[in-house]
């Protein structure tokens, strides 16, 4: 019987601690109460004198029981009164931030806050594949693929933002060679822009996006173009980025590539990429919004 009882107490304790894991105060109160109740039951079961109020031990135990009951009532009151503003509705949290002020201007700010706080980038994964080289113009043909996952700072309300997608470092296509073109732009799997040719740059958007509570948004795009050897390959962070990676793949049949980092905590010295191989050139974390957080140049070896 006692084994079953203690098993139930253990399961109850685990459930209570899991529900209060974000508040150490509630956990402390619950832990002390459970210890007191279990200790009281052990004394009641294994010390017969404690159940006889005519004896000193029984009188003390009776007083203890009365105090324990009052403590449990106090526990209930304390748990109910513990404030957890981080679990309140967004409007309540926003008004706390604004020190409880009211007025039409406050209402406007709260209603517009899901637009003012744009999302941050959880991960940006980029891959540049070099599959052709024009020796006459010293230009590479690249296929560029990018996938970016964004998440809202406020994960319990819808967040609105309007991203743009673009590229501006392409070179003119050599004569009688494939022309540059955007293959697709997809947002959460839905195609927003299909195959579209461009000259040396493109910019598409803005695309109205709403990130649902607790969800993320994935923006993916792919294009091909020509880039001149030693031209910049830059990335500018428009918002906070937790992680960005860039892989460069060499699909040229018989020529090595030299990738020379220029800025942004990249590998020191040129990186050689033999034919048919790929190497991670960029792996940066916790980037604040800034221009040209990394830059590298590619040349033929």
> 25 and 70, same structural domain?
yes
Quick one: pLDDT at residue 233? Answer: 87
Confidence (pLDDT) at 106: 78
pLDDT at residue 250 tops 60: yes
Same domain, residue pair 11 and 23: yes
Q: What is the pLDDT of residues 168-183, one digit of tens each?
A: 889 999 999 999 999 9
At residue 24 the predicted structure's pLDDT band, cuts being 50, 70 and 90, is low
Residues 147, 236: one domain? yes
Alpha carbons 296 and 232: distance in angstroms, whole number: 6
Q: Are residues 37 and 107 in the same domain?
A: no
Of 29, 63, 82, which one is at a domain's C-terminal end?
Answer: 82
* Confidence (pLDDT) at 79: 61
Closest CA to 165 of 128, 207, 213: 207
pLDDT value at position 264? 63
Q: How many CB atoms neighbour CB 201 within 10 A?
A: 12
Instruction: Return mean pLDDT, the chain.
Output: 83
Print the domain residue range for 208.
118-300
Question: Global pTM?
Answer: 0.70
Confidence of residue 70 (pLDDT cuts 50, 70, 90): confident
Q: How many CB atoms lie within 10 A of CB 213?
A: 12
Residue 113 banded pLDDT, cuts 50, 70, 90: confident
Residues 94 and 77 in one domain: no
pLDDT digits (tens, 9 = 90+) for 186-215: 999 999 999 999 999 999 999 999 999 889
Looking at residue 129, its pLDDT comes to 97
Contact, 234 vs 294, CB < 8 A?
Answer: yes
Confidence at 85, pLDDT banded by 50, 70, 90: low
Are both 136 and 207 inside the same structural domain?
Answer: yes
Residue 131: which pLDDT band, with cuts at 50, 70 and 90?
Answer: very high
Residues 128 and 248 in one domain: yes
Helix, strand and coil in the chain, % to nearest 5 = 30, 40, 30
Q: What CATH number did the domain enclosing 152 receive?
A: 2.60.40
Are 152 and 229 contained in the same domain?
Answer: yes
What is the per-residue burial (b if ≥16 Cβ within 10 Å, else e) of 115-134? eeebbebbbbebbbbbebbb
Could you tell me which of 96, 119, 115 has the C-alpha nearest to residue 106? 96
CB 92 within 8 A of CB 126: no
My answer on whether 70 and 154 are in the same domain is no
Same domain, 110 and 198: no
Q: Which of 82, 106, 127 is the last residue of a domain?
A: 82
DSSP per residue over 9-30, as a string? HHHHHHHHHHHTTT-HHHHHHH
Higher pLDDT, 94 or 128: 128
Residues contacting residue 249 through CB under 8 Å, at least 6 positions apart: 127, 128, 129, 130, 273, 277, 278
Report the domain count for the chain.
3
Whether residue 163 is found in the same domain as residue 215? yes
> Does 196 lie in the same domain as 107?
no
């Amino acid at each position: 019987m006692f084994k079953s009882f203690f098993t139930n107490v253990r399961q109850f304790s685990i459930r209570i601690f899991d529900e209060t894991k974000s508040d150490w105060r509630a956990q402390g109160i619950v832990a002390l109460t459970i210890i007191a109740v279990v200790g009281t039951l052990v004394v009641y079961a294994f010390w017969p004198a404690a159940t006889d109020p005519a004896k000193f031990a029984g009188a003390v135990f009776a007083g203890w029981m009365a105090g324990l009951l009052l403590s449990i009532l106090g526990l209930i009151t304390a748990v109910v009164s513990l404030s957890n503003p981080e679990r309140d509705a967004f409007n309540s949290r926003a008004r706390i931030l604004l020190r409880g002020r009211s007025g039409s201007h406050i209402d406007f700010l709260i209603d517009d806050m899901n637009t003012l706080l744009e999302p941050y980038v959880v991960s940006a994964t980029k891959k540049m594949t070099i599959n052709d080289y024009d020796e006459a113009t010293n230009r590479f043909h690249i296929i560029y693929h990018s996938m970016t996952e964004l998440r809202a700072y406020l994960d319990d309300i819808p967040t609105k933002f309007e991203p743009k997608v673009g590229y501006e470092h392409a070179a003119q296509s050599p004569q009688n060679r494939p022309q540059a073109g955007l293959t697709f732009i997809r947002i959460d799997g839905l195609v927003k822009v299909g195959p579209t040719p461009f000259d040396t740059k493109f910019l598409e958007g803005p695309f109205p996006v709403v990130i649902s509570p607790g969800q993320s948004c994935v923006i993916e795009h792919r294009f091909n173009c020509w880039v001149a050897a030693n031209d910049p390959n830059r990335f500018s962070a428009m918002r906070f980025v937790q992680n960005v990676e860039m892989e460069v793949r060499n699909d040229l049949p018989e020529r090595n590539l030299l990738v020379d980092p220029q800025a942004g905590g990249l590998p020191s010295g040129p990186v050689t990429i033999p034919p048919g191989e790929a190497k991670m050139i960029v792996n940066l974390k916790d980037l604040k919004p800034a221009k040209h957080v990394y830059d590298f140049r590619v040349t033929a070896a």
